[in-house]
Structure 1
Amino acid sequence: MPVLLLPGAARADDTLDGNTQNPPPAGPSGDVDGDKLTSTAGGVVFDRSKNGSGSSVGAVTSATPWTPPACWYAPKYTPAQLQATLEPIWEAGSTGYEWDAEQRKRYVDGDPYKDFNKDKTGEGYFWDSYVNKNYPPGWNSCEEPIFWVDQGDPPPADIENAVTPEILAQLAYAEIRVPGTEVTLAPEGTTKVNLPTWAWLDTAQFKPVSVTASIPVLGIQATTTAVPDSLKIEPGTGDATTYPASGVCEINNGKIGEAYAAGKADETPPCGVKYLRSSGEDSYKLRATITWKIHWTGTGVNVPVGLPDGEFGAEQDVVVQEIQAVNR
């Protein structure tokens, strides 16, 4: 999850022992209690109650080049919290007299904030930058000094990357977890050369999942939802035929593929694979990947807005044997 980055002061502390950055916090959190603001995730609170669960879940990978926000601005400090953050840095003298003097002038002496704005306690928050834990390109582009925003007012118009419902939706995207994708095969585990192998998924596992991200002190939120769309079968060898030929099995009436039943041995499976060569002493690595359509809605946005598709897949072993002929 995002790591707190305090412009100027914290950057001085982020370069310790040979410019090694401090590790990010262990996990996301966020809470509000009256005029007290505590957060290690940009003030963002995540509701994962409708997310995927179980031992096989994992994060989706964007099917197109895309990354969540590299950095953003959001409420971080009450007046008392900013004072408690900055004064120890000034007392340590690690950032230099000139920098400390500039900061005291800005936050204590009234240019523009007097005594950390403590006379406005409960009327707003100091905003600061937050950084994506993965440090993608642009992670260090949020360099505005800490600034005050009255409760209910928008941040200054010249502040880029101020948090919005869209940014929350993108942060929630990174929290989406979907179930694993081991398909059921018939024959199971071991099949024969030139024998159509049926493939299907337990659709009870593949229902829409969602994560809601919110900043309670701002009264904004966004819900990002992932809906299963299709299954792609990759046999693990070029010596195979997939059904359909594209290898992509569309979800039809909530079903992915069709379960094999007695009497269908001569039928072509709607989803499956036919191996044309034995796997010998080894096995083929069949990969099954679900594509998830992802969209979001949120404060002021009631019509779903698309985000890049996500993919999540897994491999499973398939042994392919030659059909043994019986000579008489």
Structure 2
Amino acid sequence: MGNESKVTGQVDTGSGKASATAGGEFIHFDRSKNPSKGGAGPLTPIGDWTPPACWYAPKWTAESAARTRLGGSVDFSPNHDELTAKANREKYLDGKYGNFNVKKQGKGYWWGAYKSDHSDDAGISDCTKSPFWVDSGDQPPADVPDAVSPEILAQLAYAEVRIPQGKASMAPSDGNQVVNLPTWVWLNSADFHPVSVTASLGALNIQATTTATPVSMHIDAGTADAQVYPASGDCPIHNGRIGTERTAGEKGDPPCGVEYLRSTANSGPYRFKATITWDISWVGTGHPDPTKLPAGSYGTPQDVTVKEVQSVVR
């Protein structure tokens, strides 16, 4: 799996190729704990929270900044804006940071804005601060609230977590559902287990691991002509399993399931959906204890065909 970060900042690496880097290194994502099979998808955060749209992090060494003029991100042409060009020349070429601080090569980084390709345009436009220098071991300026940190890495890792797209198991199995016959529903614990992604930034020697753990399942029968169990449709996790597998001869109402009241003969298959809620937490550099992030959800619709069985009483 690829480990490079999902960012749009482009920097000349000296090889003639552009790469989204942070101080000569990628923000690496270790996605090896994500599902290895196809058919996985990203979490949808519950509520109005979203991972960062943009953030600031090391982006150029002193030498690469001088060579590329900060990737062309700073305007030195008076033809565009004479006052801005003058201020930029004084800051990056003639003043305190004469020639992009090349005298401090290896002793710090020029920081710049990165933009996530998971975010909307409104959020991406929030990071407008021009590139700034930070000495190795120093903290970025206090007026940079979105400076990269273990917490921001954890939030970026959240966007890289992928959830298995496995279907809920049903008994009777699909195609054998019968009107007014309760169907038991459960999840295969081999498919639905904690998954995690680790994000790391070698330039600052920081990292964070974000872990998603399944905690409950909500059943949507796909039609109003159905009864779900329990009545809320919310099935909690119990002993590592969501729902209970139906055994041969099992009778009574399922602890987690659905009972269809009308066949699909005229309507076509019902779009049954089991949506899983995942608790999210992270640990990282300087943060050994798990810290909560907003929970996320993920569900995969599946077609269910329900038959109507006619009986004759003699």
Shorter chain as denominator, the TM-score bin is: 0.7 to 0.9
Q: What CA distance in whole angstroms lies between the structure 1 residues aligned with 2:20 and 2:114?
A: 13
Partner of 1:69: 52
Residues 76 and 89, structure 2, Cα contact 8 Å, conserved in 1: no
Q: CA deviation at 1:143?
A: 2.1
Inter-partner Cα distance in structure 1 for 2:147 and 2:311: 71
Indicate the SS of the match to 1:205: coil
CA separation of 1:94 and 1:231: change in aligned 2, threshold 3 A: farther
- Counterparts of 1:87 and 1:249 in 2: how far apart (Å)? 53
- 1:51 aligned counterpart, secondary structure: coil
- Other-structure match for 1:140: 125
Question: 1:54 is aligned with what amino acid?
Answer: K
Residue 92 of structure 1, CA deviation: 7.8
Of 1, 9, 34, the match for 1:4: 9
Correspondence for 1:172: 157
| TM-score between both structures, scaled by the size of structure 2 | 0.87
Secondary structure in structure 2 of the residue aligned to 1:81: helix
Contact persistence 1:234–1:288 (CA under 8 A): yes
Contact 1:234 1:286 in 2 (8 A): yes
State the SS of the aligned residue for 2:124: coil
1:251 alignment counterpart? 237
CA, structure 1 residues 135+192, in 2 after alignment: closer, same or farther (shift >3 Å)?
closer
1:194-273 alignment runs, 5 A limit: 194-264=180-250, 266-273=251-258
Instruction: Tell me which stretches of 4 or more aligned residues in structure 1 moved more than 6 Å.
Output: 90-94
Deviations 1:131-152, CA, capped at 9 Å, x for gaps = 2222353422222221111111
Q: Which runs of 5+ in 1 are unaligned?
A: 7-24
Contact 1:53 1:178 in 2 (8 A): no
Question: Which residue pairs with 1:12 in the alignment?
Answer: none
Distance 1:49 1:180 in 2: 17
Contact 2:78 2:86 in 1 (8 A): no
The question of 1:283 aligning with 2:269 is answered yes
By how many angstroms is 1:104 displaced?
A: 2.2
Task: Please say if residues 73 and 162 of structure 1, whose CA atoms lie closer than 8 Å, have aligned partners that are also in contact.
Answer: yes
Contact 1:181/1:290, CA 8 A, preserved across alignment: no
Does residue 306 of the first structure (1) align with residue 289 of the second (2)?
Answer: no
Q: Separation in 1 of the partners of 2:106 and 2:242?
A: 53
C-alpha deviation, 1:249, in angstroms: 1.3
Distance 1:107 1:213 in 2: 31
Aligned equivalents of 1:300 and 1:285: distance in 2? 46
Report deviation, 1:253. Answer: 0.6
Q: 1:50 maps to what in 2? A: 33
Which amino acid in 2 is paired with 1:128? Answer: G
Residues 182 and 316, structure 1, Cα contact 8 Å, conserved in 2: yes
**Structure 2 residue 111 is matched with structure 1 residue 106:** no
CA contact (8 A) 1:37 1:78 kept: yes
SS of the residue 2:204 aligns to: coil
Deviations 1:270-294 (A, max 9, x none): 2111111122231111001111000
- Quote the residue 2:15 is aligned against: none
Report the CA distance between 1:96 and its aligned residue: 5.0
Which residue of the partner structure matches residue 293 of structure 1? Answer: 279
Given candidates 49, 63, 70, the residue that maps to 1:80 is: 63
**For residue 3 of structure 1, what is the amino acid of its counterpart?**
T
Matched letter for residue 74 of structure 1: A
Structure 1 pair 158/5, CA: closer, same or farther in 2 (3 Å)?
farther
Aligned to 1:117: 101
Identity over aligned residues, as a percent? 47
Specify the code of the residue in structure 1 equivalent to 2:111.
W
Is 1:162 paired with 2:126? no
